[in-house]
Structure 1
């Protein structure tokens, strides 16, 4: 057997594999002898079938099978030994004059090679790394919401400015019949609010659905209609008032603090607000970290220039899936996936150059941390180590789950690396400012 590689250019190569009769004949002969021993052919005793008859029936398919096995094994071994970084899989070249009746065979495979490039971690313009702070308005709103949530409900005889209204919306034609509760301040416009004010239990109010609530999603929830229906719904509904109440806000006292955080953990209004601020900003970190990861990804793709073996990749995409694609379909798919492929190569190079890898022990500890946070949501804040080990073992035995957790852990490692090595500009913003700047 002889294997050679010819570089077409920096991104494309062809591997040629020559296989002679000496490479496969012993294995083919061994298999045919086994066939002869076990063959059940009418007119012959088992084990006494003439070899010429066995060869006539089985030699060619056995030869084809063994040559293909030898071909795949030798190609894989060659790629590993030569340390070739390839994209996709090798593509066999079509040979019009090929025949399995020959004694020796030559096969050629096209390769798409990973480009050689350097990653620039210091773009000219620094990337914004947002620090989202909980401003006074947000904290005041949060305090107000908590006071209402833990407040006392007081019945009212008629609807007023601060009322909680429980009732049933009905429209027979649209098959709407939904009992719901909402605050009057969620009703949109003075005209609609005026229809509610002064109403008593048992009163029926006729309303137009269009522009009834400050947000169409509220219309969806309170009328029990589909999302798409809510946006265009413009019909009359009858609303029957069932209950009217007002919330007396809970006092900011030790009893409330203990309910929220545990006995004696928070001891003053100042500590209460500081804790709310700290918890809110901790949650914001996940959003700012994800935004930073996205921004760095975009910047690396934009600033790291290299060519790809586009023609090879389009040919590979055409045959890689369950259904073969046309030339145009493969080209369209390549254009859709090119950006993602570029980042995969950039990420792979950063990981390799900086020894960023996920070990099994790290993955297990990461899985245990994930399990602990899940269990804490259901009140089990101190699970036993043995239990965590068993659950983590079960999760990691599932390849899809193990892959998903491994990707999350690698994202964390990359994020830490980017924070330490990429040119960043820390920008402090409120959550509203963050949303406006990032999501626009």
Structure 2
């Protein structure tokens, strides 16, 4: 009968010694040999008639090792479960015990493993955390800009020969150039459509009188002011907060000139945007826009509270880790052979050492999340994952008119996604994380602070830049 003993190596770092007797694995090994001899297909012998000695000689060592490993796994899992030992990852062999296995001379064996214990820790009192709740000021100017944006988006376009004023629209191709003005090989090339007034004054002057086929050279930081630069940089796949972005130069080739006729603010336009018919007047329209802007910034503010919660919990919760074990585990994982497209170069011990703080922070958040989920019985059911898949589909389809969640093809899509294990796991984790933050929101007491939208956006951008 197998026996297991446990002894301390270091902080939360233990050694398991497994004594395996012959009787623990030999019956299983002999059964495996018999089963293999029945199905083995070896030239010169009829199926099921291969001599036992030949089977043992050819396949004995691997079958023997498999059975010993199965027996060890079974004993360790039973021990951990019976003794309520909560561990990280899987036990790691301390020695090359497998080298002593001999299928021809079965014996009692001793095996040694190291384990890392999950720590107990105390959750912070969320009500005492210093959290700020930002109330973004919704100004008349913000409402005016959104109304104009919608008027432009749904407006009518007429062709023009040349650029005449700021309300002209130019279809342009951005082509990245070097300091010499020549196109950069493999550089950025992107089409866009812009109102002339989106450009800085000097560029507007340079565009005046230009026609399709003409081009000008620009530097991003000089051609666009801060607000427009953010939009342009994102469209070009650049980070507006990086100094190099503003220094990038492009040739701007005009492919078409047009004049945008804004949509009139009338009931026909309101019904186009809001088919429910609850917007009748310009005042109703602006009130609706104000609500949408408010909801958007309230959502952004809520995300900021979540971000503060995450950093407070990770930075201030005291949790000890079996660092020596975890480092050994990372090294073991790093040395595992990799195949296929995801194959990556093995990391050096120095790289693993450098990544430990980040790894421990991720692990800390995992433990905090697990504790919140367990202590508050937070669950995610299959129906919630199905609803999540539907919402993702509707967002992807852009909220297409006439789409309902009871259409057969929608349900077929959802059921297909429910059979995708990776998708279900990702959806489950996202929904669980969302519920954890929703629970935490009910416990914190944010200090309300008013802030301008541009200041809030700048603060969030600087924070993201700092943490990446």
Tell me how large the CA RMSD over aligned residues is: 4.1
- Separation in structure 1 between the aligned mates of residue 431 and residue 33 of structure 2, nearest angstrom: 52
Per-residue deviation, 1:438: 2.4
* Counterpart for residue 420 of structure 2: 398
- Separation in structure 2 between the aligned mates of residue 260 and residue 18 of structure 1, nearest angstrom: 74
**Compared with structure 1, are the counterparts of its residues 151 and 43 closer, same or farther at alpha carbon in structure 2 (3 Å cutoff)?**
closer
Higher-Rg structure is 1
- Separation in structure 2 between the aligned mates of residue 433 and residue 327 of structure 1, nearest angstrom: 43
* Counterpart for residue 69 of structure 1: 70
Partner SS, residue 319 of structure 2:
coil
Per-residue deviation, 1:280: 2.2
Moved more, 412-421 or 425-434: 425-434
User: Which of 257, 260, 281 is equivalent to 2:294?
Assistant: 281
User: Which of 133, 141, 153 is equivalent to 1:137?
Assistant: 141
Partner SS, residue 434 of structure 1:
helix
- Separation in structure 1 between the aligned mates of residue 333 and residue 255 of structure 2, nearest angstrom: 62
User: Which of 198, 220, 223 is equivalent to 1:213?
Assistant: 223
1:236-287 CA-to-partner distances (Å, cap 9, x unmatched) read x697796463x45433222221222126320122211111111223233443
* Counterpart for residue 356 of structure 1: 378
Residue correspondences, number: 434
User: Which of 114, 118, 138 is equivalent to 1:114?
Assistant: 118
Matches within 5 A, 1:38-437: 59-94=60-95, 99-101=100-102, 103-122=107-126, 124-151=128-155, 159-166=163-170, 173-174=182-183, 182-190=194-202, 192-197=203-208, 199=209, 207-210=216-219, 213-214=223-224, 232=247, 243=257, 245=259, 247-262=260-275, 264-321=277-334, 322-323=336-337, 325-374=347-396, 377-384=399-406, 388-437=410-459
Per-residue deviation, 1:352: 0.9
Moved more, 91-100 or 328-337: 91-100
Per-residue deviation, 1:127: 0.9
Per-residue deviation, 1:208: 4.2
* Counterpart for residue 342 of structure 2: none
Per-residue deviation, 1:45: 8.9
1:199-252 CA-to-partner distances (Å, cap 9, x unmatched) read 3768x9774423662159879979x999699854558x697796463x454332
**Compared with structure 1, are the counterparts of its residues 393 and 80 closer, same or farther at alpha carbon in structure 2 (3 Å cutoff)?**
farther
Per-residue deviation, 1:319: 0.8
Structure 1: segments with no counterpart, 5+ residues: none
Matches within 5 A, 1:12-27: 12-27=13-28
- Separation in structure 2 between the aligned mates of residue 327 and residue 177 of structure 1, nearest angstrom: 41
Moved more, 356-365 or 409-418: 356-365
1:281-319 CA-to-partner distances (Å, cap 9, x unmatched) read 323344333322221111001121021111110000001
Partner SS, residue 280 of structure 2:
coil
User: TM-score by structure 2 length?
Assistant: 0.77
- Separation in structure 1 between the aligned mates of residue 46 and residue 210 of structure 2, nearest angstrom: 101
**Compared with structure 1, are the counterparts of its residues 183 and 29 closer, same or farther at alpha carbon in structure 2 (3 Å cutoff)?**
closer
Per-residue deviation, 1:173: 4.8
- Separation in structure 2 between the aligned mates of residue 128 and residue 346 of structure 1, nearest angstrom: 21
**Compared with structure 1, are the counterparts of its residues 266 and 110 closer, same or farther at alpha carbon in structure 2 (3 Å cutoff)?**
same
- Separation in structure 2 between the aligned mates of residue 414 and residue 60 of structure 1, nearest angstrom: 50
**Compared with structure 1, are the counterparts of its residues 425 and 386 closer, same or farther at alpha carbon in structure 2 (3 Å cutoff)?**
farther
* Counterpart for residue 6 of structure 2: 5
Per-residue deviation, 1:9: 5.1
**Compared with structure 1, are the counterparts of its residues 27 and 88 closer, same or farther at alpha carbon in structure 2 (3 Å cutoff)?**
closer
- Separation in structure 2 between the aligned mates of residue 174 and residue 342 of structure 1, nearest angstrom: 48
Partner SS, residue 357 of structure 1:
coil
- Separation in structure 1 between the aligned mates of residue 171 and residue 395 of structure 2, nearest angstrom: 39
**Compared with structure 1, are the counterparts of its residues 362 and 20 closer, same or farther at alpha carbon in structure 2 (3 Å cutoff)?**
same
Structure 2: segments with no counterpart, 5+ residues: 338-345, 463-468
Query: Contact 1:114 / 1:308 at 8 angstroms: preserved in 2?
Result: yes
Partner SS, residue 14 of structure 1:
strand
Moved more, 416-425 or 296-305: 416-425
Moved more, 175-184 or 343-352: 175-184
Query: Contact 1:18 / 1:104 at 8 angstroms: preserved in 2?
Result: yes
Query: Contact 1:165 / 1:181 at 8 angstroms: preserved in 2?
Result: yes
